[in-house]
Chain A
Amino acid sequence: MSLPCVDRYPLGMPCSTTSAQGAMRDRVSHLLIRVGGALGVLGTTSADSGATPDHAFIMQAQTNSGVHVPESQAPSAAIMELRRVSGLTWDQLARLFGITRRSLHFWASGKPLTPAHEERLSRLLATVRRLDRGSAHANRTLLLGVHADGCLPFDLLVAGQYERVLALLGPGHAPARPHPAALAVDARVARAPHAPEDVAGSLPDRVHTEGEKVRVPRVARGRT
């Protein structure tokens, strides 16, 4: 089988042909994507030995019955995570979905996704999480690097071949990110910017005068 290369595959095709589309359409009604539990399953040997990671993800997402408690994630948050982890630009992410960058910005701002796009987002995020090397730069380099067969993992993602990407790149085993303690309220306030209303309307003051006394200074001139 020939592997997909740059611009060889129509965008968005895999999502529209998956058998899970109906189930995913049901899930979109509450605008949540459940991915954490699916990833927990994907990370175990039992899951790897059975269904494909994609199927395992969907089953887990549908049944919500994994060993690990799944986390709920709004699509906008999932897009942000996909962006942070993958290191891909907004334009590149838009290409993964076959949409414009403007549309992606609106999704990230909370605009609902179609069920097909939501499913695709779930699959992409699950894939990127698995191959995460712990650095956005490393992940982007990995996805955009040309393999020996001349193909880019990025193009495989565009074509919906998530398993192929994972097989090519292997799991990432990224170290867990630290979760530092929250700042105190006053410390956070001290670092906060002024409100947009105020910084977008700064008043250009005139010179401040209070009718103060004035005198001629005693001056010694010199050169340094």
Chain B
Amino acid sequence: MAVPGQEQPHYHRVDTALQAWRQGDCVLGEHWFIHRFNPTVPLTEASAAVSDQGVDLAESAVRGLVVLTQTCDIVRTSLERPFLEVAPIVEVSAQVAHEIDRGRRPVYAIIPALRARGLVADLDRTMTVEKAVVAQWARIAGCRTDAEARRFALALVRKRARVAFPDDFTALVARLQARLLEKHDRQSDEGRALRALWEIRVRAAPSWDAPTVEVTFWFIHEEEAMDFEGRRWDILLDDWLQLMPAAGRFRQVHGTVLALEDLTAKEYVESDPLDLDHLSTRG
């Protein structure tokens, strides 16, 4: 079938309708999410429900859909960019929503305008639709401020761009991670100081997959925090490094506590945030 040419007026109508849409905008109501599956091995309730009907696609009713495509691509002409990427909107409990807020559940993204209703984006599932589909939806602005739009975008980045640390590194930092997460360790200085940090970043030289690796941790604190509740950072640093003795490929383990403004752009670019899955839930 021939694709309509640029002179066709419906391109213009679609483009005009899409001008108001932004990344994070959404639609509620009865909408359908489609995904492909292997009919001989259905892995989900949705695929199992239709796997005996000679198909390899399943459509599931969802509460709504949220647009993941960047705004600049949304508003570009549909002649050049006819597709949009959407994710289903799902309902979560207040507790889960709180954990999403904190960044503990990277599978989901908060949609600020729907946050109070417990409706969030399920980033595990995405679907491509043509813009003309979205053009007929009743738009709900998902993000109302630049800050909200940025947080939504960062959630998308984090879902796709988390660093896959080597298993032996994960083992190296297991005790530090445990110290961060220990619920029964709220009273220890080094544990509370770890949790009070702005960010922990880690650099591997010459690279993560080298035969021998030098690891450097950047423990970044708030700019004005000269110490932690009167305890010197270097003493805390010593405690933290003792949790990660050099082992295996990781022949040297260094660390420094510093303010964000003291980290050079080079060091920032050459390091990764210590973003790990909860080990206790593995396997």
Report which A residues bind B (CB closer than 8 A): 74, 76-77, 80, 83-84, 90, 101-102, 105-111, 136, 186-187, 189-205, 207-217, 219
Contact = CB atoms under 8 A, between A and B. Distances in A.
Interface string B46-75: 100110010101111111000000000000
A84 B176 CA distance: 29
Contacts of A189: 147
A79 to B, nearest CB: 9
10 contacts: A80-B259, A105-B255, A111-B232, A195-B102, A196-B197, A198-B103, A202-B162, A202-B277, A210-B91, A212-B46
B60 to A, nearest CB: 5
A72 to B, nearest CB: 12
B129 interface: no
Given A136-B264, A194-B102, A202-B106, A109 B60 contact: no
Interface of B: 32, 34, 44-46, 49-50, 53, 55, 57-63, 90-91, 99, 102-108, 122, 124, 145-148, 150-151, 162, 176-177, 180-181, 194-195, 197-200, 219, 226-227, 232-235, 237-238, 254-259, 262, 264, 273-278, 281-282
Contacts of A201: 104, 177, 180-181, 276-278
A211 B60 CA distance: 9
A111 B44 contact: no
Chain B interface, DSSP helix/strand/loop, else mixed: mixed
Contact of B234 (A80, A110, A197): A110
Contacts of A108: 256-258, 262
Given A187-B147, A216-B59, A217-B58, A209 B50 contact: no
Given A194-B103, A212-B46, A204 B277 contact: yes
Contacts, number: 170
B183 to A, nearest CB: 11
Contact of A208 (B90, B200, B219, B281): B90
Contact of A200 (B34, B59, B148, B200): B200
A212 B162 CA distance: 30
Contacts of B237: 105-106, 109
A207 B273 contact: no
B232 A110 contact: yes
Contacts of A211: 45
Contacts of B276: 199-202
A216 B180 contact: no
Contacts of B59: 214-217
B157 to A, nearest CB: 11
Nearest to B47: A214
Contact of A214 (B58, B104, B177): B58
A110 B57 CA distance: 60
A214 B108 CA distance: 22
Residue among A90, A105, A107, A196 with max Cβ neighbours from chain B (10 Å): A196
Contact of B122 (A102, A196, A208): A208
Instruction: Identify the interface centre among A84, A101, A105, A136: most chain B CB within 10 Å of its CB.
Output: A105
Contacts of B226: 74, 110
A192 B61 CA distance: 35
Contacts of A198: 102-104
Given A187-B147, A203-B104, A217 B57 contact: yes
Contact of B46 (A74, A199, A214, A219): A214
Contacts of A84: 262, 264
Contacts of B32: 215, 217
Query: Closest 3 A-B residue pairs measured CB to CB?
Result: A194-B103, A190-B147, A111-B234
Contact of B258 (A109, A192, A216): A109
